[in-house]
Structure 1
Amino acid sequence: MKLCIFGAGAIGGLMAAKLVRKGEVDVTVIARGPHLKAMQEKGLVLRSGDGEIVTRPRCVASAEEAGPQDYVLITLKAPALPGAAQQMQPLIGPDTTIVAAVNGIPWWYFHKLAGPHEGRRVESVDPGGAVSALLPPEKVLGCIIYPAAEVPEPGVIEHTYGDRFTLGEPDGSRSERADALSKALVAAGFKAPVRPKIRDELWVKLWGNMAFNPLSALTTATLDIITGEAELRAVCRAMMLEGQAVAEKLGVRFAIDVDKRIAGGAEVGAHKTSMLQDLERGRPMEIDALLGSVVELADLVEVPAPTCRTVLALLRTRGRLAGCY
């Protein structure tokens, strides 16, 4: 199996290190700048509760150097995807599977989703069809990311918690390509279940992110404050209930209730969300993938979402003023 990780930051680096350590997959990492240089010169360092390991994946700067792959794992932040899709083309052959390990509503969301909206484009994350034209939805295998990791310095990944990557075909089928990747990830030490209703799980994760992340960027509060302070928790809960109404109109079923999902966020403790980290570092925030897309889908299914709309307006302005949107 030839597997390329495009955008080997925290999550991509975590996957690469464990896959290379197991040694059963031909792994290529595409990165850039000091991170690429450090990995080429000193190897990829993974630090976790189990200690520190150093691996040496093949590290290159471009897709041309890597060539066609069996699997392309996209671990970029959502705002980078439209610009990066063209760069990925040399990786994609006739039988390549694109594994979309990105946050929020993905560009392939309505592919093979039975119902009145099948094949529809999600403009918030696929502007003008720029992404789907280059990364065809029929090649996509869905992936939900659960681990948390950071890059404290070039070439080093710190894995703080989580080890699950849920996989699923957009049409709900059980495929050979999903099973093969699941086996490779499990062998490397991850949990990698293949689920028939990947969108249900996608929404459970997004359910928290669509509220926790925007509120953290607007207030600079960590998760313990957002979920523990009564007024913020109330705003958070209102947003999530609006999101639930949208998802259920699209056929999603939630296995847990909203308060249990908020409690799950509270268990993480004094954690800065990824959106707050991006804001503090002057990087593009995943505003449209995590909240703009939810409001777009609310319009589609005619669900009022006043709290989400208000927070989105504030967040977009916050992002523009900070140069992060």
Structure 2
Amino acid sequence: MRVCIYGAGASGGHFAVRLALAGHQVSVIARGSHLAAIRENGLQLKTGEGTLSGNVAASDTPADFGEQDVVIVAAKATALPGIAPHIGPLVGRDTQVVFPQNGMTWWYPIGLPDTHPKPPAIPVFELARPFLAAMRGDQVIGGIIYSANEVESPGVIKNNSPTHNRLEIAAIAASSPAQVAALSNLREALEDSGILSPDPGDIRAAVWTKLVNNMSGSALGLATRSPSDGARKDKAMSEIYRRIMREGLSIAAAHGYPLDIDPDRMLKRLLDHKASILQDYEQGRPMEIAEIVLAPLAFARSAGIATPTLDTVAAIVTKLAKDKGLVAADLEVAL
């Protein structure tokens, strides 16, 4: 299978090495010192198994690789506006394009059942126009990543969840039998490479499940500058975590996705790992505040749901990000 990983950072680099070692023809789109290191030494992955090395082709120019069977856009949501105009050369008539970003996703309204409430107009939805200029809606595959990774140094990825690495994928709209078969083949390829890939069923319910987790554990980790499991180790933070999660569950249900999630059970599963949004804050990278924290607030407002705890945490983390210039200066919390 010809697979291009667009954005070979933490999670993308992990997938690239695994798929390459499983025998697939893997290319990666990277840049800067990370790209230079991959070209010189290959892509390295540190795991509980030791250090693995993947033989991947690397470039900062998608046209160098041509049409692929699969493109996994593993960059963060903040990078998507810069990717949309350049992804076209990788996409053929039968290419599957996987978007596994955290937070609310650009494709959410596409194919949304008519029985569900209309979502609010938020900035990330504006990316539908440039992406759909390069691909059809039935080529878009939604993705949910459960894997803790970080770029330890240029060309070197460290996996911090050796027994917990999963990429759930599903089509966002009705697919032909051939596309269903291709999606099944991709799940099999991921499983064979050591990445769990169960069928999540309704992909939008899966998005809400991950989003409710991120807007609670990840947002609190950012607000307190601590690993996600810090919310479990402090009694007061544990209660705040539960409150945010309950608010998130109410938002999801109001928009047609009632979730069977127990906040106490999720609290126990928090990892001793800095969430990607905290890693971005500490390393001075653009932050997914809008997609992970402010988007659910917009959905709450459109449904008339009160979210006092999330309101407070959203105001705190937005100010943290704005003070470091890691989000747009005009980004506002709609309280």
Q: Same fold (TM over 0.5)?
A: yes
User: What do the CA deviations read for 1:282-318 (whole angstroms, capped 9, x no partner)?
Assistant: 1111111111111111122222222222322222222
In the TM superposition, what is the alpha-carbon distance from 1:256 to its structure 2 partner? Answer: 2.8
Map of 1:15 onto structure 2: 15
What does residue range 242-261 of structure 1 map to in structure 2 within 5 Å?
Answer: 242-261=247-266
Deviates more, 1:83-92 or 1:180-189: 83-92
Distance 1:118 1:241, change over 3 A: closer
Residue 69 in structure 1 maps to residue 68 in structure 2: yes
User: What do the CA deviations read for 1:70-114 (whole angstroms, capped 9, x no partner)?
Assistant: 211011111111222112122122322110111111111122221
Map of 1:187 onto structure 2: 192
**Conserved 8 A contact 1:112-1:118:** no
**Structure 1 residue identity aligned to 2:85:** Q
Map of 1:148 onto structure 2: 148
Map of 2:94 onto structure 1: 95
State the Cα RMSD in Å. 2.1
Distance 1:236 1:299, change over 3 A: same
Residue 279 in structure 1 maps to residue 281 in structure 2: yes
**Structure 2 residue identity aligned to 1:305:** T
Question: Tell me, what secondary structure is at the counterpart of 1:46?
Answer: strand
Distance 1:137 1:307, change over 3 A: farther
In the TM superposition, what is the alpha-carbon distance from 1:48 to its structure 2 partner? Answer: 0.7
Map of 2:114 onto structure 1: 115
The unaligned stretches of length 5 or more in structure 1 are none
**Conserved 8 A contact 2:138-2:171:** no
Q: What is the rounded CA distance, in whole Å, between the counterparts of 1:214 and 1:119 in structure 2?
A: 26
Aligned residues: 321
Q: What is the rounded CA distance, in whole Å, between the counterparts of 1:237 and 1:14 in structure 2?
A: 31
The unaligned stretches of length 5 or more in structure 2 are 328-335
**Conserved 8 A contact 1:81-1:131:** no
**Conserved 8 A contact 1:10-1:157:** yes
Q: What is the rounded CA distance, in whole Å, between the counterparts of 2:20 and 2:88 in structure 1?
A: 24
Of 147, 170, 183 in structure 2, the residue corresponding to residue 178 of structure 1 is 183
Q: What is the rounded CA distance, in whole Å, between the counterparts of 1:220 and 1:260 in structure 2?
A: 23
Q: What is the rounded CA distance, in whole Å, between the counterparts of 1:20 and 1:264 in structure 2?
A: 30
Deviates more, 1:188-197 or 1:37-46: 188-197
**Structure 1 residue identity aligned to 2:209:** V
In the TM superposition, what is the alpha-carbon distance from 1:131 to its structure 2 partner? Answer: 5.1
User: What do the CA deviations read for 1:116-169 (whole angstroms, capped 9, x no partner)?
Assistant: 458857524234755554465432111110111111111111112122111112
Map of 1:209 onto structure 2: 214
Distance 1:31 1:119, change over 3 A: farther
Deviates more, 1:177-186 or 1:124-133: 124-133
Map of 1:289 onto structure 2: 291
**Conserved 8 A contact 1:70-1:96:** yes
TM-score, normalised via structure 1 length: 0.91
Q: What is the rounded CA distance, in whole Å, between the counterparts of 1:260 and 1:180 in structure 2?
A: 33
